[in-house]
Amino acid sequence: MADTLTADLYTAITGDATLSALIGTRLYPGIASQDAQTPYCTYNEISLIGDYTLQGASGVRTKRIQISVFAKRGNGGRTTVNSIVEGLLTLLDGKTGTMGSSSLFHVSVVGSVSDYEADRSIYVHHIDFEFLYNI
């Protein structure tokens, strides 16, 4: 079976009413272009660990995905970042069950940090989510 977690995550975020109202479909893999309209999010797969038994791969995986939130300074940029972060936490933190075709055992936040990119006048917040799931 194919690993569809990242595609299912994209669909879940862009399909969530709260997050869609804030970022629409401005969710980019890796990095966004310099001229991307804010606010937006990016996502990066940080690590992938498979679970193995004496019989081989069990099908259970742990994947860490970092989601970064960006919003321009002014016009409520920091508040917008905070709203998007809260939307992501509500959608994902502690989630179990299914997300698209992915079977989730548990999703948890394993890291979070705020930053400000002075050269672009952009507020940034990075959240690392750890997904324990079955493929």
Q: Which residue has the tokens 């994209």?
A: 10
* CATH for 83: 3.30.2000.10
User: Is residue 115 one of the residues assigned to a domain?
Assistant: no
User: Is residue 13 one of the residues assigned to a domain?
Assistant: yes
Q: Which residues pair with 69 in a beta bridge?
A: 41, 125
Count of domains forming the chain: 1
CB < 8 Å & 24+ apart, contacts of 85-89: 85/112, 85/125, 85/127, 87/16, 87/18, 87/19, 87/22, 88/13, 88/19, 88/41, 88/127, 89/127
User: Is residue 108 one of the residues assigned to a domain?
Assistant: no
pLDDT tens across 69-84, in order? 999 998 799 999 999 9
**Whole-number pLDDT of residue 50:** 85
**Whole-number pLDDT of residue 114:** 96
Q: Which domain covers residue 17, as residue numbers?
A: 5-103+121-134
**Whole-number pLDDT of residue 54:** 79
User: Is residue 98 one of the residues assigned to a domain?
Assistant: yes
User: Is residue 114 one of the residues assigned to a domain?
Assistant: no
Taking 70 as the pLDDT cut, the residues of the chain under it are 1-2
**Whole-number pLDDT of residue 84:** 98
Per this entry, what is the length of the chain?
Answer: 135
For residue 49, report the phi and psi dihedrals to the nearest 5 degrees: -125, 125
User: Is residue 109 one of the residues assigned to a domain?
Assistant: no
User: Is residue 26 one of the residues assigned to a domain?
Assistant: yes
User: Is residue 112 one of the residues assigned to a domain?
Assistant: no
**Whole-number pLDDT of residue 2:** 65
Beta-strand ranges (E) seen in the chain are 27-29, 40-53, 56-72, 97-99, 102-117, 122-134
In this prediction the pTM is: 0.92
Using CA atoms, how far residue 103 sits from 29, 36, 68, 124, 125, in Å, is 22, 32, 24, 30, 27
